[in-house]
Amino acid sequence: MSLVVRKSSPVVVRPSPETGTTRGTIKLSSFDKGLYNMPSTTLLVFEHPLHNAAETIRGALSRALAHYYPIASRIVVAGGGGGGSSGGGDVYIECNDEGVAFVAAHTDHALKEVICFDRSPAARKLLDQLAVYYPGMSCGPGDPLLLMQVTEFSCGGFVLGVTWNHGGADGAGMGQFLRAVGELSGGSPSPSVAPVRWDGSLPSLRPSVLEAQQHLLSLDPRCTTFEAALAVLWRCRTRAIRPDPEAPTLLVFLADMRKHAGAKEGYYGNCIVAQLVVDSDAVMAIRRAKDQLPDRLKEDEEGVVGRHELREIRAYDTLTVTSWRNLGFDRVDFGSGRPARVTASGKDLPPSPGAVGFLSDGRGGGVSVLSDLVRQEHADAFLAELAKFI
């Protein structure tokens, strides 16, 4: 099936004047640095009709930006660039109300006809039409911090595609923002959670943690459900791709540090770290790594993987994982109910070739998996290993 999505020209949505905004600058925290040019995309699939969905959401978006005014701003890199752990320059948000980009789109197809999630090349191309992306899949200093597209289908269902600069908010923060847009679209006078973008009480990440995180981002393209599923995938993938049992493989999962860092309620800036694991006992290694998360904030913490060892591991020997189950995207409601599905576009995979994202199914009963785990020559071996657990 050939899907034709007709898109309007992008328009700029600025904060509504009903709430006074604050000018000035917001310095990026150590959690933000290294992520300010990294885009992220989320697709929220709503099955139930919403009258004039694009205009309803656009109006609520403007009102939400009056409360979340830094999202309507621009990132500035001063002093010669970089802005990372090496101190090559300062990076901050200049609050200037320049606004975000918004696209209204529609298609003559019904949602059930065209939304498939088998992650075939054709399906990925289809999903790619449901969002707006930054040129070159990288965020420039003058780009909006948020790109939004609402695609309305002939059945009345719609898809909200949200692409944002990760330096402006992490996944939990963007989920909080979208829930606020939903609340305002339903007539609430203000968001139920007061937003906080600058929290001076947050500790600073050590340079070694930032260096490891930046290295991972530069790579080429209790036994919980998370621990069990991740352990199976990691073990099967490692056995499939590694003929030498002594060769190291690296597991990376992204963790929310809000409770460990003591972030204020409503904080929507970045508060995540990349936790690294190298071990043969997958479940226990993942559990130990989760237990060690508070240590990432300590000055004398050595880290799970040494710098030299980290740089010796190939991109293909790295499995990067993130869980979206608790980010709040599945609780967004613009007036016609919560999304039936939360997923990502085909373009929005983590940087290492072996990667998987756990995505909420929107109904609270399970998870689906977006994966790009192995090369073609390892596919049969991986599936054979996976079959042992089914």
- Please give the Cα distance from 190 to 186 (Å, whole number): 11
CB 134 within 8 A of CB 143: yes
Among the listed residues 201, 159, 208, the one whose alpha carbon sits nearest the alpha carbon of residue 42: 159
Among the listed residues 163, 130, 165, the one whose alpha carbon sits nearest the alpha carbon of residue 148: 163
For 135, residues 6+ apart whose C-beta sits below 8 A from its C-beta are: none
CB 74 within 8 A of CB 141: yes
Among the listed residues 34, 26, 389, the one whose alpha carbon sits nearest the alpha carbon of residue 233: 389
Tokens of 107: 């298609």
AA letter at 303: G
Q: Please pick, among 67, 106, 109, 166, the residue that the annotation labels catalytic.
A: 166
Q: Please pick, among 317, 333, 348, 378, the residue that the annotation labels catalytic.
A: 333
Beta-bridge partners for 267: 196
AA letter at 346: G
Burial class of 105 by CB neighbour count within 10 A (0 to 12, 13 to 18, 19+) = buried
- Please give the Cα distance from 161 to 167 (Å, whole number): 18
- Residue 166: active-site member: yes
Backbone angles phi, psi at 329, to 5 degrees: -60, -35
Q: How far is CA 93 from the centre of its chain?
A: 19
- Residue 295: active-site member: no
CB 168 within 8 A of CB 146: yes
Beta-bridge partners for 343: 43
Task: Count CA atoms closer than 13 A to 230's CA, side-chain side.
Answer: 30
Among the listed residues 200, 328, 197, the one whose alpha carbon sits nearest the alpha carbon of residue 268: 197
- What is the total residue count of the chain? 390
Residues catalogued as catalytic: 166, 333
